Amino acid sequence: MLVALPPRAPRLGLVERLSYGFGDFGYSLPYNMVGAFLLYYYTVVLRLPVAAVGTIFLTARLFDAVVDLGVGVLLDRTRSRWGRARPYILFTSVPYAVVFVAIFLVPGGSVNAQLAWAFVTFNLLGLLMSFGSIPYTALLPMMTADTDQRLKLGSMRSIGTSISVILGTAATMPLVGLLGAGDERRGFLLTALLFAVLALGAMLALFRNCRERHVGDADAAPAPAPTAIGEMLRNRAWWVCFLFTLLYFVRFGAMLSVTAFFAIEVLKRPWMISVMLPAISGMLLLAAFVAPPILSRTGIRGGSLGALGVSLLLFALLPFAEASPIAFLALYLAASMATSITITAIFTMIAESVDYHQARFGSRNEGLLSAGVSLATKIGMALGSAAIAYALAYAAYAPGAVTPAAVQTIRWAYYGAPLLLLSLQALCILFWPSRKTMG
Sequential DSSP letters for 129-197 = HHHHHHHHHHHHHHH---HHHHHHHHHHHHHHHHHHHIIIIITHHHHHHHHHTT-HHHHHHHHHHHHHH
For residue 437, pLDDT beyond 60: no
Cα 305 from Cα 422, distance rounded (Å): 10
pLDDT value at position 6? 44
**What number is the average pLDDT over the span 75-92?**
90
For residue 7, pLDDT beyond 60: no
pLDDT value at position 4? 42
For residue 82, pLDDT beyond 80: yes
Q: What band does 392 get if pLDDT is binned at 50, 70 and 90? A: confident
Cα 137 from Cα 290, distance rounded (Å): 21
DSSP state of 9: P
pLDDT value at position 9? 56
Contact between 27 and 133 under an 8 Å Cβ cutoff? The reply is yes
Contact between 284 and 165 under an 8 Å Cβ cutoff? The reply is yes
Q: What band does 3 get if pLDDT is binned at 50, 70 and 90? A: very low
Task: Using a pLDDT cut of 90, give the percent of the chain over it.
Answer: 37
**What number is the average pLDDT over the span 321-343?**
92
Give me the amino acid identity at 302: G
pLDDT value at position 322? 92
Q: What band does 10 get if pLDDT is binned at 50, 70 and 90? A: low
Three-state SS letters, 234-247: CCHHHHHHHHHHHH
Sequence-distant (6+) residues with CB within 8 A of 235 are 353, 356, 357, 360, 361, 369
For residue 80, pLDDT beyond 70: yes
pLDDT value at position 73? 84
Report which of residues 200 and 48 the model is more confident about. 200
CA distances from 350 to 137, 339, 433 (A): 8, 18, 13
pTM as predicted: 0.74
For residue 435, pLDDT beyond 70: no
Contact between 438 and 237 under an 8 Å Cβ cutoff? The reply is yes
pLDDT value at position 222? 65
For residue 5, pLDDT beyond 60: no
CA distances from 294 to 301, 302, 342 (A): 11, 9, 11
Least confident of 138-152, 273-287, 319-333, 424-438: 273-287
For residue 1, pLDDT beyond 60: no
For residue 63, pLDDT beyond 80: no
pLDDT tens-digit readout, 217-265: 555 556 677 788 888 889 999 999 999 999 998 898 788 777 877 888 8
For residue 312, pLDDT beyond 90: yes
Q: How far from chain centre, in Å, is Cα 274?
A: 21
For residue 346, pLDDT beyond 70: yes
CA distances from 295 to 210, 302, 306, 308, 426 (A): 24, 8, 10, 13, 15
Least confident of 11-25, 35-49, 348-362: 35-49
Contact between 382 and 61 under an 8 Å Cβ cutoff? The reply is yes
Sequence-distant (6+) residues with CB within 8 A of 127 are 63, 67
Q: What band does 313 get if pLDDT is binned at 50, 70 and 90? A: very high
Cα 120 from Cα 313, distance rounded (Å): 46
DSSP state of 181: T
Which class for 220: exposed (0-12), middle (13-18), buried (19 or more C-beta within 10 A)? exposed
Give me the amino acid identity at 98: V
pLDDT tens-digit readout, 103-131: 999 988 889 999 999 999 989 998 999 89
pLDDT value at position 221? 59
Task: Using a pLDDT cut of 70, give the percent of the chain over it.
Answer: 92
**What number is the average pLDDT over the span 146-159?**
86
**What number is the average pLDDT over the span 407-413?**
90
Q: What band does 386 get if pLDDT is binned at 50, 70 and 90? A: confident
pLDDT value at position 103? 95
How confident is the prediction for the chain on average, in pLDDT?
85
Whose CA is closest to 188, among 24, 47, 34, 29? 34
pLDDT value at position 328? 95
pLDDT value at position 42? 84
